[in-house]
Chain A
Amino acid sequence: MAEIFIDNIRYEYEGNAKVLQFALDQGLEIPFFCYHPSMSIPANCRQCLVEVGMPVFNRETNSYDLDDKGERVIRFFPKLMTSCSLDAADGMVVKTHVTSELVRRAQKDTLEFILVNHPLDCPICDQAGECPLQIQTYKYGPEGSRFEFKKVHKPKRIQLGPRVVLDAERCINCTRCVRFTQEISKTDQLTIISRGDKNYPATAPDRVFDDPYSLNTVDICPVGALTASDFRFRARVWEMNQTPSIDITGGKGTNVDLWVRNNQVLRITPRFNGAVNDHWMPDAARMAYMAFNDHRISRAHLVIDSKPVLTSWTNAYETVFEKVQQVGVKNVAVFGSPHTSIEDNYALDKLFTNLGHSGALFTTHLIEGSGDGFLLTDDQAPNTSGCRVLGLTEIKPNEVSKKIAKADVVVILQDDFVGRGLIAKDDLNGKYTVYLGTNLNDTAHAADLLIPITCVAEHAASYVSVEGRIQRSLPAKETVYSSRATNTEMSVGRLDRFGTSFDNWVNDQNKVDCKPAWEIIADLASRFGFAMDFPTSRALFDHIASEITSLSGISYDKMDAEQGIVISKENVTTTA
């Protein structure tokens, strides 16, 4: 074990370590801009400077030289060093701003230089509130500026690509975006052009920044130089609640954060998970938020004379009960879905097997060639592996129409068969179709009874990725029936802890009249005469884990603590 002293405190370390990352791992604070743990180290912002020295090893005495106080003599390097690129060495002595006036001066000077040409855009800049430059200037920077000249002007609000806006004046040339396209997404679409204080990032002339991961550069840009055009001027960061969740547009199980204000999900950003998606997510997955807010099925609808009519939960359950009794449970086609959670699929399957049905079917949603070996998968659904773990009967996509043809009542959970082209709208003629779903899609429009269920933004539920990792979402959005106050699964955010009664406002029209599918199915079960009640999805999952061997020992708490758990491979056949 080697030792290193940072601000007079001794630490032990093993192997190779860079001083900055090591310090950050210990919970110490050293300011920086250009460093990123997942990319190469450029050491060009010069913000992470520290004072470094090494003890003097005396070859003759075979020990370190000591001064008259008995302390090791430390020979400090003549210049300050960037801690991000500095290799830790046994006995190294490091002084940060905590113990070094020189380092404090250097940090202030670097920030003064960065601010020389940086435009005072904070009032109109989307980055405000989550801006490392703002934060570090406040903590380590100069009080005012001594610069009294015209700042260098560069192109502003350029549509760099379909989703990214560039403001070249704000750029501090950390090169994170360029390195991202070179090292992570490997499209090489960005470069720095020009020289000196005229330089800024750009694409090749007449080329657009349409990298499928382009929005990650917006996340890692430490200032407001790269911003998302979709989110431009939408909301201030401090007005939103941030909730951890899982991406449901594909099978990778990318960890995300949902940002909510006034009960609308306004943006989705990646959440770090070293085993799944690191710090990244695909651009396509960020657009999912629109489906959480708009075109929702809100309140149950009964189709009477070809027109959807609002109805009550009781009426909806009654209708289902009647229709199933009418045709007999064997003539009901029941479809679960890889597009929804373990809990929902389990409940649906359990309800019908308890009624003597053979159990829910499901089919996969694969688009060959859409996977890229990184974060996009051929699998368009987040829980295909989960359906298999539960033992739902898997059928091929082209078998769906056959199963429907043989049935008189069709129950579909969250799978748009009509929109996917697996069946035609007319295939449902003469069959009573019940659609439990989140959005008004083509299948919903073809159904006879619409039952609204919660989307991933509104419930805590678990999903198993194509690699067999089970992870769970947390509710970010209130429904008519659950609010931040009553729903214990909703994370406690900054506004909950420190906000006033004027923060966290919610207009009622943004609340969708829906319930978790498993809760609806439990109510249905009691109409059918047996109990399937669970107080929360957490309790339901614990029950499921006790029944399914590959899930045994797993719980929401365990998933949270370990950032997802890979369940045993024997029971999971993965599709990439």
Chain B
Amino acid sequence: MEYTFTKEERDSIEAICAKYPERMAATLPILWFAQDKFGHVDPDVQKLVAEVLGMPEAHVHGVASFYTQYYKKPMGKYVLDVCTCLSCHISGGYDMLHHLENKLGIKEGETTPDGMFSIQSVECLGACGYAPMMQITNDVFVNHLTPEKCDKVIDSLRAGKLPEFEAITMPQHDKEVS
């Protein structure tokens, strides 16, 4: 498949490269740039990134395969990363994972046949106090999951609406007066 960048996009890429003293350092940012545009960094996208950076293709491939957030193939429209590590593990993370698996009819690592949802079981996302939780397509966190909340999120996503960002303050602020 043919992937390209427009002139404006190439200019943005050059501006990113300029923030680092060596061009290779822009490998991760440009892989993100490509994934944000194409939804994944499959081999053809990786070749495009290598070309626009002037880096060896093997280098870009090695980097893309090391980091888990880069999708090596097209995923569902929404990727549900359910945390099942430590705090989420002991707070029902696996229960939420299984609930979603049952609801969507797929297992972790798979994508629904209609291409809407992928489920992944992931490591600690840094929201341990708000467990169990999940992340949607490398973007917004949905915290304090219950089976009902999971269902609401699925319905919302089916309607094309991403959940709002949940701002969580420190609990000790709640009882103090500003």
**A contacts, CB < 8 Å to B:** 181, 188-195, 202-207
Contact = CB atoms under 8 A, between A and B. Distances in A.
Question: Which residue among B57, B58, B61 has the maximum number of chain A CB atoms within 10 Å of its CB?
Answer: B58
A334 B68 CA distance: 70
A158 to B, nearest CB: 15
B145 interface: no
B62 A193 contact: yes
Contacts of B46: 204-205
A249 B57 CA distance: 32
Contacts of B66: 193-195
B60 interface: yes
Contacts of B65: 193-195
B43 interface: yes
B103 interface: no
B23 interface: no
5 contacts: A188-B59, A192-B62, A194-B65, A202-B61, A205-B47
Interface in B50-74: 50, 56-62, 65-66, 68
A188 B61 contact: no
A189 B58 contact: yes
A190 B58 CA distance: 6
Given A193-B65, A195-B66, A203 B58 contact: yes
Interface residues of B, number: 14
B41 to A, nearest CB: 11
Given A204-B46, A204-B47, A193 B56 contact: no
A199 to B, nearest CB: 8
A204 B64 CA distance: 11
A189 B55 CA distance: 11
B42 to A, nearest CB: 8
A188 B60 CA distance: 11
Contacts of A192: 62
Contacts of A190: 58
Given A204-B50, A205-B46, A193 B61 contact: yes
Contacts of B43: 204-206
Given A204-B46, A204-B50, A205-B43, A188 B56 contact: yes
Given A188-B56, A195-B65, 17 more contacts: A188-B59, A189-B58, A190-B58, A191-B58, A191-B61, A192-B62, A193-B61, A193-B62, A193-B66, A195-B68, A203-B58, A204-B43, A204-B46, A204-B50, A204-B56, A204-B60, A205-B61
Contacts of A195: 65-66, 68
Nearest to B47: A204
Nearest to B43: A205
B62 A207 contact: no
Contacts of B57: 204, 207
Contacts of A206: 43
Contacts of A181: 58
A448 to B, nearest CB: 55
Nearest to A192: B62
Contacts of B60: 204
A191 B57 CA distance: 9
Contacts of A194: 65-66
Contacts of A191: 58-59, 61-62
B48 to A, nearest CB: 12
A332 B58 CA distance: 58
Contacts of A204: 43, 46-47, 50, 56-58, 60-61
Closest 7 CB pairs of A and B: A191-B62, A204-B57, A188-B56, A205-B43, A193-B65, A191-B58, A204-B61
